[in-house]
């Protein structure tokens, strides 16, 4: 009898020690799958599916693609991203390494799908060749540090202009 009781105790102990760890493993499994990727402004491009990334820019060797892309960019994108994609009030810089080193197919995918809930419009109505021209233009710019936070008027004014103001009579 005694031996059976001890055995039972041991068995319960074993179950008790094994179970929490099993539960823990289960929990960590589910929490990692739920864990959100750190939300940076460039997180969307990282979500481009493999198939989209693998797409090559058909205009890669087209000498006119960059110039055409620049015109399109100024018309459609500059209001948010700045004339040279350096970043503006409404949109982030596209000169960041995340974009400059991205696969052209990933940028194309972002343009096609947008990031609507974050304010980046969908450009699927723009014909595909135009979307590729934009990709060519953006990646022709190369990386640049983000624009310093100075107001354009204060930096554009030469210092001498300050002394030019006459005192009011």
Residues of this chain that interact with ligand HEC (CB under 6 A) are 41-45, 76-77, 79-81, 90-92, 94, 99, 107, 110-111, 115, 118-121, 123, 134
CA separation for the pair 15, 2 (Å, rounded): 20
Give the shortest CB-151-to-ligand HEC separation in angstroms.
20
Q: Which is nearer to ligand HEC, 44 or 103 (CB)?
A: 44
Q: How far is the CB of 99 from ligand HEC (least distance, A)?
A: 5
Output phi, psi for 119, to 5 deg: 100, 5
Among residues 28 and 124, whose Cβ is nearest to ligand HEC? 124
Gap between the Cα atoms of 36 and 45, Å rounded: 15
Taking Cα atoms as reference points, which of 46, 128, 106, 119 lies closest to residue 77? 119
Which is closer to ligand HEC, CB of 62 or CB of 121? Answer: 121
Choose among 142, 131, 112, 124: nearest CA to 58.
Answer: 131
CB of 59 to ligand HEC, least distance (A): 14
SS3 115: strand
Cβ pair 80, 151 in contact under 8 A: no
Query: Looking at beta carbons, which residue is closest to ligand HEC?
Result: 77
If the CB atoms of residues 23 and 90 are measured against ligand HEC, the closer one turns out to be 90
Structure tokens at 115: 């990031």
For residue 82, the minimal CB distance to ligand HEC (Å) is 10
């Amino acid at each position: 009898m005694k031996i059976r009781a001890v055995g039972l105790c041991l068995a319960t102990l074993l179950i008790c020690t094994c179970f929490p760890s099993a539960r823990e493993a289960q929990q960590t499994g589910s929490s990692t799958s739920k864990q959100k990727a750190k939300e940076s402004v460039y997180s969307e491009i990282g979500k481009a599916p493999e198939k989209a990334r693998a797409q090559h820019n058909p205009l890669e060797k087209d000498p006119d693609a960059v110039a055409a892309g620049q015109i399109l960019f100024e018309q459609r994108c500059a209001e948010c991203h700045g004339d040279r994609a350096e970043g503006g009030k409404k949109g982030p810089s596209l000169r960041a390494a995340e974009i400059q080193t991205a696969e052209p197919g990933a940028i194309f995918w972002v343009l096609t799908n947008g990031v609507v809930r974050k304010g980046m419009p969908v450009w699927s109505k723009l014909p595909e060749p135009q979307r590729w021209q934009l990709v060519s233009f953006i990646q022709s710019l190369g990386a640049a540090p983000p624009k310093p936070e100075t107001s354009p008027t204060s930096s554009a004014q030469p210092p001498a202009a300050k002394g030019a103001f006459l005192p009011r009579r």
